Each structure stands twice: as structure tokens, then as C-alpha cells.
């Protein structure tokens, strides 16, 4: 696999929830240096809501020699707000050096943007009956592609680099306006036996195909839940909705196997989701409040803010290995 990447979230707001409350430039530099020197990644997908945080992290990553896939995520905004934010961010990114930045005009917008599905919030748009209608009718694809075509044109007008979109598997994207095909892809009970085959279909577009998200939580049964494994969080967001058995070996096996399959299927690269989830702290002595179990992170974060590697961290480091000239003293 040519590109070895990981997601780095600077803080994504979904309703009242913010995935990273504190944002510190020194800590960000430390994390990105670890991503480069210990995880041996070539690229980082910098995602989040606040444009200033996104640009600051992008600038640091570029200084460290990482390729940046810049991924704004303004959840629950309408189409006009989403587009205006993307264009403004793309204009600012152009000044940082577009040759080393891939700009993602959005992420799974059928779900995260208002206006394609009914519902003002993500929870409303994720109702089972809506997801079933998506699968059966596909009516979301026409308005999605209308938006994406406009977004690609307007972003390219201010940004001279490569442009794509992080799609959900349920979205049938018209990839003509984009440089790459990108899909956030997870394995669960429904696609356990044909994960590779489903990914392979994206090669038919004749463009490089990247997995912009691939991951698994670290508890028994998470491998069956795929992209919804986080949904063990209780309604209060402070406890889990039951008792779950931590299994970091399972997380490592699952993600490394998915990367192996993606490699075999001809993926141009993959971004593991995600480096850290600081608002989902690890609490081994209080299993019901061990929110890290609901995270896909490769490190566990403690209440005081420091983090430690999980088994997957070490597995990724060994899998990636240093490339000649990549690591620095």
C-alpha cells in the first residue's frame, strides 16, 4: 500500500458534544511527531470543525513533512453553510502549500449535513427507517451529487491542489469532479464475508481508491458492529449502556486484517481511524465509565490528558515500519 495514514481529530462538534475540548499547539506537535516517527505514517487526515484549529494542525504536519488530507466537519449545517465553510478553508489552505495537501470537501454528508435526509440532528438522520429507505431507494444520491459537483467547482476555484470527498459506503458518488475515490469503510456483521469485494467495486472508476477511515473499537463484539461500535455510549454520554469486555488484541487483529485486505484489493492508501479520542477517557477501575471502549483510537487517553499506546498502536508501527529517509532524530 503506497500511503500509510491515520486520522487526527482537532475537535469535531456534533450537537453539544465536542470530541476534543482543549487544543494545544505543543501537544498537537508532539502527537503529529509520534505519528511520523513512531507510527511511521506518510500522511495524516486532519479533521474537525474549527477552521483555525484545522489550519494550525495542518501547518505543523506540513512542517514535519507529512502529507495532509484536510477534512472539515461542520455537522448539522445546511448545504450553503457547509459549502461556504469548505471554500473559505480551501482558500486558506492554498496559502499553506496546496501541493502537499489533499482537500476533502466533506465527509459522509448524507448523514452529517442537513437537507438530504429528514432531521435537524445526526441522531434524527440515523433513524433506522431512514437508513432502510436509503438502501432501498437511493434517493439521497441525486441531491448529494448535485452538492458535491458544486462544491468541487467552487473549491477548485480557490485551491490548486488535489480534491476529493470522504464518502459513506451507502453513497453512490459521481467521482468525475474528483482526483481520487475515497470511502470510509468498516467491517461488521453485514459485510464480514465480502468486505474486500465491496471495496474492490470502487476500482471500477479508474481512479486511485483510498480508505479514508478504517477502524475498530477495543471490546468484545466491536468487530460485529463496525462503524456503529461507538454506539455503546449511554444517553448521558458519561457512561456505557452496559458491561463490555476490553479486548485490545481484538482491535489490533481486526484493523491489521482490514489493512491487509485493502492492500490485497489494490487500495492506494488507508487512514486508520483514529489517533486519539480525548473526550472518551480510559477508566480501567470503573468499567461502566470506561468511555475509551466506545472509541476507535489507537491510544488510550486518561482523565489528566496524557495518553498511552494500545496494542493496535504497536501493531501499526510494526506493520508500517520506517521508510528510508522518513524518520528523523
- What's the pLDDT at 122? 87
CB neighbourhood size of 207 (10 A): 17
pLDDT in tens, 230-279: 999 999 999 999 999 999 999 999 999 999 999 999 999 999 999 999 99
Beta strands in 120-216 (DSSP E): 162-166, 181-184, 209-214
pLDDT in tens, 3-28: 999 999 999 999 889 999 999 999 99
CB neighbourhood size of 304 (10 A): 6
pLDDT of 327 strictly over 50: no
Q: Tell me the average pLDDT across 195-203.
A: 96
Residues 29 and 44: beta-carbon distance below 8 Å: no
- What's the pLDDT at 329? 32
- pTM of the predicted structure, to 2 decimals: 0.95
pLDDT of 42 strictly over 70: yes
CATH of span 3-320: 3.20.20.80
Q: Tell me the average pLDDT across 79-106.
A: 96
| pLDDT band, very low/low/confident/very high, at 1 (cuts 50, 70, 90) | low
CB neighbourhood size of 99 (10 A): 9
- Residues near 274 by beta carbon (within 8 Å), at least 6 away in sequence: 6, 7, 8, 9, 215, 295, 296, 297, 298
d(CA 82, CA 90): 12
- What's the pLDDT at 328? 40
Residues 319 and 308: beta-carbon distance below 8 Å: no
| pLDDT band, very low/low/confident/very high, at 133 (cuts 50, 70, 90) | confident
User: In whole numbers, what is the pLDDT of the chain averaged over residues?
Assistant: 95
pLDDT of 302 strictly over 70: yes
pLDDT of 200 strictly over 90: yes
Q: Is 257 exposed, middle or buried (0-12, 13-18, 19+ CB in 10 A)?
A: middle
Share of the chain above pLDDT 90, in %: 88
d(CA 115, CA 269): 31
pLDDT in tens, 44-73: 999 999 999 999 999 999 999 999 999 999
| pLDDT band, very low/low/confident/very high, at 162 (cuts 50, 70, 90) | very high
CB neighbourhood size of 260 (10 A): 13
pLDDT of 324 strictly over 70: no
320-327 LR contacts (CB < 8 Å, sep 24+): 320/4, 320/39, 320/40, 320/41, 321/40, 322/40, 323/40, 323/42, 326/36, 326/40, 326/42, 326/65, 327/36, 327/37, 327/40
d(CA 269, CA 157): 27
End-to-end CA distance of the chain: 25
Residues 231 and 256: beta-carbon distance below 8 Å: no
Amino acid at each position: 500500500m503506497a500511503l500509510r495514514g491515520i486520522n487526527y481529530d482537532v475537535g469535531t462538534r456534533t450537537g453539544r458534544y465536542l470530541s476534543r475540548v482543549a487544543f494545544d499547539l505543543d501537544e498537537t506537535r508532539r502527537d503529529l511527531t509520534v505519528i511520523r516517527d513512531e507510527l511511521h505514517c506518510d500522511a495524516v487526515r486532519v479533521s474537525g470543525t474549527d477552521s483555525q484549529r484545522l489550519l494550525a494542525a495542518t501547518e505543523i504536519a506540513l512542517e514535519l513533512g507529512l502529507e495532509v488530507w484536510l477534512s472539515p466537519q461542520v455537522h448539522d449545517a445546511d448545504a450553503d453553510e457547509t459549502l461556504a465553510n469548505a471554500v473559505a478553508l480551501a482558500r486558506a489552505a492554498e496559502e499553506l502549500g496546496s501541493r502537499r495537501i489533499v482537500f476533502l470537501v466533506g465527509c459522509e454528508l448524507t448523514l452529517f449535513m442537513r437537507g438530504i435526509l429528514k432531521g435537524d440532528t445526526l441522531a434524527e438522520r440515523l433513524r433506522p427507517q431512514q437508513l432502510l429507505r436509503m438502501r432501498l431507494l437511493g434517493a439521497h444520491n441525486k441531491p448529494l451529487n448535485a452538492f458535491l459537483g458544486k462544491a468541487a467547482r467552487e473549491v477548485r476555484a480557490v485551491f490548486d491542489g488535489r480534491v476529493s470527498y470522504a464518502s459513506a459506503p451507502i453513497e453512490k458518488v459521481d467521482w468525475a469532479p474528483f482526483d481520487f475515490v475515497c470511502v470510509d469503510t468498516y467491517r461488521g456483521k453485514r459485510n464480514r464475508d465480502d468486505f474486500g469485494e465491496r471495496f474492490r467495486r470502487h476500482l471500477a472508476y479508474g481512479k486511485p481508491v483510498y480508505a479514508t477511515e478504517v477502524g475498530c473499537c477495543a471490546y468484545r463484539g466491536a468487530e460485529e458492529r463496525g462503524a456503529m461500535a461507538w454506539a455503546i455510549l449511554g444517553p448521558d454520554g458519561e457512561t456505557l449502556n452496559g458491561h463490555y469486555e476490553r479486548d485490545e488484541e481484538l482491535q489490533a487483529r481486526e484493523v491489521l486484517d482490514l489493512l491487509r485486505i485493502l492492500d490485497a484489493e489494490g487500495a492506494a492508501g488507508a487512514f486508520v481511524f483514529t489517533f486519539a479520542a480525548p473526550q472518551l477517557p480510559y477508566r480501567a477501575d470503573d468499567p461502566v465509565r470506561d468511555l475509551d471502549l466506545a472509541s476507535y483510537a489507537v491510544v488510550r487517553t486518561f482523565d489528566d490528558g496524557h495518553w498511552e499506546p494500545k496494542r493496535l498502536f504497536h501493531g501499526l508501527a510494526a506493520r508500517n515500519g520506517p521508510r528510508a529517509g522518513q524518520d528523523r532524530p
